[in-house]
Chains A and B, each alone.
Chain A
């Protein structure tokens, strides 16, 4: 069974440009999460989808970030326009339905974003 896949693995863009990160969760996983780790700091929660609905987006830093999960399958996270402080590793994770509270999250390998 395929795990959580993320694309691209690494993206280098200039300040002001737009980047779209994609996450394909494990098939059948209703819960999809985005996290971000800025260098040297803790991994921080961005938002949580249950199927196509945003369950919790309290961690989204500002309106330059837009996450979508049309159809409840893959998700995209768009940063527009990108700023220097957006650099970091963006992790996607998924979990099966009903396990949002106690179950483990299955993470992807992350998308490293570098904004110059």
Chain B
């Protein structure tokens, strides 16, 4: 079964508007971490934000916030005040912390295009 699901292959947003990129996850591990990465056209994967499963508050990093709904197993990324430079692929990922494995499970990604 897919551990990370990103149902939006592509999204468009007007510059300066906010956009939400969806991510749902599937795990039986009670302790896990959720990550969002950005991949611009240069190819490098850039870490954006991290949410631990036991964190009480939603993570925020500048214009990025993670809408963490544990009961629904969703970890949507919200980008506020979109900029042209936000156009990129965005990947949601999860690490299961109690299994002892250190690998990240990734989704298929969402391509965001910011329209001027």
Binding site for B on A (CB under 8 A): 3, 9, 31, 33, 35, 37, 40-45, 48, 55-56, 58-59, 89, 91, 93, 100-102, 104-110
Are B95 and A101 in contact, CB atoms less than 8 angstroms apart? yes
Are B108 and A40 in contact, CB atoms less than 8 angstroms apart? yes
Q: Known contacts A40-B108, A93-B45, A109-B43; is A101 also within 8 Å of B97 by CB?
A: yes
Query: What count of chain B residues pass the 8 Å CB interface test?
Result: 26
Chain B residues lying within 8 Å of A9, measured Cβ to Cβ, are 43
Are B97 and A56 in contact, CB atoms less than 8 angstroms apart? no
In B29-72, the 8 Å CB interface with A consists of 33, 35, 37, 42-47, 50, 52
Partner of B106, one of A40, A42, A100, A108: A42
Kindly count the residue-residue contacts between A and B in the assembled complex, taking CB atoms under 8 Å apart: 68
Are A44 and B45 in contact, CB atoms less than 8 angstroms apart? no
The chain A residue with its CB closest to the CB of B108 is: A42
Binding site for A on B (CB under 8 A): 2, 4, 33, 35, 37, 42-47, 50, 52, 91, 93, 95, 97, 101-109
Are A45 and B45 in contact, CB atoms less than 8 angstroms apart? no
Are A55 and B44 in contact, CB atoms less than 8 angstroms apart? no
Closest CB-CB distance, A7 to chain B, in whole Å? Answer: 13
Are B103 and A101 in contact, CB atoms less than 8 angstroms apart? no
Are B4 and A45 in contact, CB atoms less than 8 angstroms apart? no
Partner of B4, one of A42, A100, A101: A42
List 5 interface pairs A-B (beta carbons < 8 Å), by A numbering. Answer: A48-B103, A89-B43, A91-B45, A101-B95, A107-B46
Closest CB-CB distance, A47 to chain B, in whole Å? Answer: 8
Chain B residues lying within 8 Å of A55, measured Cβ to Cβ, are 102
